[in-house]
Structure 1
């Protein structure tokens, strides 16, 4: 990612953070519609999970500025997700749901450039999480 993409992701996330509860609800609604098979991986009450999602996204978005420093924690997150039953195949649905949520949450501010920056960021985050999942399986 170049600095302009990092800035776009961080600036757009700052606009979503104030509506974190709504954004996380939109995300999980979209995810469970898109990939109903992942629903059993979560508890019935998603309150805590929604908080953790936004916290993790905030950490990863902030970490883009010094990615090498953030990588170990992102890999550990992937390893934990593996123990919950998450699989690498789930990342496509998660990424699509994230983009759909951002589009709804940002409205006109979700420009093609912002979409591309988030797509790139999610790809980087997902790759490190999957590396953590693989190390957990090994």
Structure 2
């Protein structure tokens, strides 16, 4: 990711943060729509999970300028996700749901440049998390 992409991600997330509850509802609604099998990995009451999602996104987005600072937390999160049943093939599905959510939440502010920046950010982080949780071979697939 280059500095311009980091700024686009951070600026666009700042526009979504005020509607974080709605964004989290959109995200999980979309995720469970496109991948109903993952619903069983989550609690029945999703209110805390939605808060965790948005808090984690805020932490990562805020740390993009100093990625080394957020990588230990991303590694720990990736390893916890293995215990919940997450598999490498879930990461692209989650990424698709995230991008869809951002597109809906940002409306006209969702430009091709913003989409590219978020795609790069998610690709960087998810690749790292897959590698941390499953090893380098899985991350390359």
CA distance in 1, matches of 2:117, 2:19: 20
* 1:44-95 deviation line (CA, Å, top 9, x unaligned): 1100000000011111111110011211111111001111111110011100
Cross-structure match for 2:112: 112
| TM-score, L = length of structure 1 | 0.95
The gaps in structure 1 that reach 5 residues or longer are none
SS of corresponding position for 1:88: coil
1:122 aligns with 2:122: yes
| Matched residue count | 135
Q: Partners of 1:26 and 1:69 in 2: how far apart?
A: 29
Q: Corresponding residue for 1:19?
A: 19
The yes-or-no answer on 1:88 pairing with 2:91 is: no
Per mean C-alpha deviation after superposition, the further-off stretch among 62-71 and 14-23 is: 62-71
Report if aligned partners of 1:16, 1:23 keep a CA contact under 8 Å in 2: yes
**Shift of residue 118 of structure 1?**
0.1
Q: Which segments of structure 1 move beyond 6 Å, counting only runs of 4 or more?
A: none
Query: What's 2:61 paired with?
Result: 61
SS in 2 for 1:66: helix
Q: Secondary structure at the match of 1:27?
A: helix
* Unmatched segments (≥5 aa) in structure 2: 136-141
Q: How many Å separate the matches in 1 of 2:12 and 2:33?
A: 25
C-alpha separation in 2, matches of 1:35 and 1:132: 23
Q: Any idea what SS the aligned residue of 2:63 has?
A: helix
1:9-52 per-residue CA deviation (whole Å, 9 max, x = no partner) reads 00000000000000000000000001111000001110000000
Indicate the RMSD between aligned Cα atoms, in angstroms.
Answer: 0.9
| Aligned counterparts of 2:72 and 2:134: Cα–Cα separation in 1 | 14
